[in-house]
Amino acid sequence: MNDDKPAPPAGDIRPGRLSAEKIAANFADMHPPLTPSEAIIDADRCYFCYDAPCTTACPTGIDIPGFIQKIRSGNLEGSAYTILSENIMGGMCARVCPTEVLCEDACVRNTHEDRPVRIGLLQRFATDAVLDTTLFTRAPATGRKAAVIGGGPAGLSCAHRLALLGHDVTVFEPRAKLGGLNEYGIAAYKTPGDFAAREVDFILGIGGIEVRTGAALGRDVSLQDLRAGYGAVFLGFGLSGVNGLGLDGEKLEGVISAVDYIETLRQAADKAALPVGRRVVVIGGGMTAIDIAVQSKALGAEEVTLVYRRGQEHMNASRYEQEFAQTRGVGVRTWAAPRRLFASNGRIRGVEFETTRIGTDGKLEGTDQTWTLDADVVFKAIGQNVSWERLAGTAEILELRHGRIAIDEHRKTSLAGVWAGGDCVHGGSDLTVSAVQDGKLAALSIDRFFKGGA
């Protein structure tokens, strides 16, 4: 597309590009669950290593051979207990964790065969069996109270562990639903149905957790007041700000935050009614970029192109996710950065990209070689940030590191009685499992603090 040629029609965005049946099929479960016989067969493939590398590779330290052995013996409740004792969101992580670069990548079977034990699917098999049960019993009430800011994976993990230990917890969540990324930010084909909400109900079933939705830090509650009213505070809020492209025209119609549209997809009762562009360009290289690209194609977009400024080996999305996107019809172009947005009648109609490379100083640089893509929709998926300006002075009383909250190995912040974890610390790694571990470790540290320890 050259700017001196007639512009292509702008705004070819509409619902119903595919039939409702086809869209339903496109958003069906990415990894259908194992049948009982399949689970037994796969469990039998485990070597039950003594120093299991799969367990070492799991951010939450689940005893993977232990839970698989219990599946073999038919003890699904015991298997689930082994998993959920370390990772209370083991059901969701079984669906969305990048097992291909964590536990399954470390599986010893890889050295003998062409595939590992299907640890993720086995984990789902065990945890799904107990989702509607009461698996954990709360310890006697201690009379100690903790506040948790954010009802996402980090916050819910912290709240559950504290409640399990007998402490009372109040969770403050700005949105109408708990779950955070699991409820609002994960591709719909990874967690179809209401699984995220059911998992939240399972977590709250421990008792001792009060939930206050519609309560935002900086608007409805302050960190100072929470420190005064509770014995401990855990900060587990997410990233509400979206990074911009830094180009003129970002306010054009059709230039959309990928995060916002994924939330719309996740909450939509009828995905066939959602509008989608015929030509979609996604700018970014992480999981959000992959998720919006694949889902745009699933809604019926004819051309979906994901463009990343570096090489595929540098993308935050795993190689498996990249290949999955390509098998779903997404084109991937690398070593290119957006340089200019083209408009027609106030709408996006295309993007000019500049070819990039690594310079002699090791930094990314442009080459002055450009090319363009027509676009009805451009999704921005180049990362998120903490909206500190909305948090009413919270940043001024906390030590920050690269715009995130600084913590020690116990998830303690610079403020006495305040812990933190999840995206507000790590900055959008998109790993539910890492956030769960943060919440768990913080809760254990808070418990020691309540008992007079360090």
Residue 385 structure tokens? 């940030």
Non-local (6+) Cβ contacts of 241 within 8 A are 384, 385, 386, 387
Quick one: pLDDT at residue 241?
77
% residues pLDDT > 90 (the chain): 85
CA atoms of 304 and 296, how far apart (whole Å): 7
CATH class of 13-28+243-383: alpha beta
Tokens of 395: 């940043």
Task: Give, in degrees to the nearest 5, the angle at Cα 30 between 25 and 35.
Answer: 100
- Answer whether 13-28+243-383 and 36-128 agree in fold: no
Q: Check residue 358 and give left, alpha or beta (phi > 0: left; psi -120 to 50: alpha).
A: beta
358-371 pLDDT tens trace: 999 999 999 999 99
Three-class SS state of 376 = coil
Q: What is the mean pLDDT of residues 326-340?
A: 97
Predicted pLDDT of residue 2: 43
Question: What are the tens digits of pLDDT across the range 153-169?
Answer: 999 999 999 999 999 99
Paired tokens of 391 = 């948090």
Give dist(CA 159, CA 149) in Å, integer: 10
Plot region of 307 (φ>0 → left; ψ -120 to 50 → alpha; else → beta): beta
The mean of the pLDDT values for the chain is 93
Q: Can you tell me whether residue 33 is helix, strand or coil?
A: coil
Q: 347-358 and 336-344 as β-strands: parallel, antiparallel, unpaired?
A: antiparallel
Position 129 confidence tier, pLDDT thresholds 50, 70, 90 = very high
Residue spans of the domains in the chain: they are 13-28+243-383, 36-128, 145-240+386-450
36-128 CATH = 1.10.1060.10
Residue 239: pLDDT over 90: no
- Report the CATH number of the 145-240+386-450 domain: 3.50.50.60
- pLDDT above 60: residue 9: no
pLDDT of residue 454: 60
State the Cα–Cα distance between residues 232 and 251, nearest whole angstrom.
42
pLDDT at 202: 97
The pLDDT of residue 427 is 67
Using alpha carbons only, give the angle 421, 415, 386 rounded to the nearest 5 degrees.
45
**CA geometry: angle 311, 312, 317, nearest 5 deg:** 130
Chain mean position to CA 201 = 19
**Section 263-270 average pLDDT:** 93
Task: Give DSSP secondary structure letters for 160-188.
Answer: HHHHHTT-EEEEEESSSSS-THHHHTS-T
pLDDT of residue 429: 59
pTM over 0.75: yes
Tokens, residue 282: 């996604």
Range in 43-52, 368-377, 418-427 with the lowest mean pLDDT:
418-427
Please provide the DSSP assignment of 86-152 as one string.
T-TTHHHHHHHS-GGGTHHHH-GGGGTSSS---HHHHHHHHHHTTTTS----PPPP---EEEEE--S
Residue 85, CA distances (Å) to 5, 61, 79, 88, 185 in order: 62, 10, 10, 6, 25
Mean pLDDT confidence for 6-34: 85
